[in-house]
Amino acid sequence: MTDPLPPITAPQSRAGRALVGWSITGLAEATNVPASEIERFEAETLRPDANCQRAIRSALEEAGVLFLPEQGGTGVGVRLKFPRQTVKRLQTWEGEGGTTGEDDIH
């Protein structure tokens, strides 16, 4: 059985945060992972355990980041699942008590 949320790389974490406009502190709040640990992970001076990396990935995915797997030697990557304004509208909607649900946009 494959892991549903494989660990991510430090560059993917940095890029994912940049795409959604999160600081390290914002990501720490979303994951309950200490900001110092995220900072060291992204600086590639610490390799956190797989659970920490999965928490980071999960939070970024919830914010609209899509993780791209290795394909034909092009390397892993990230992109926004939705345009930035759509993500902001969804976050506002959900923050105001709007209903949430599974999306089917990939």
The domains located in the chain, with CATH, are 10-95 (1.10.260.40)
What average pLDDT does range 86-104 have in this prediction?
65
Q: What is the pLDDT of residue 27?
A: 97
When the pLDDT of each residue in the chain is averaged and rounded to a whole number, the result is: 83
Looking at the chain, the number of H-run helices and the number of E-run strands are 5, 2
Which residues, including other chains, have CB under 8 Å from residue 83's CB and lie 6 or more apart? none
Judge whether 12 and 62 are in contact, CB under 8 Å. Answer: no
20-46 tens-digit pLDDT: 999 999 999 999 999 999 999 999 998
Least confident of 20-29, 38-47, 54-63, 94-103: 94-103
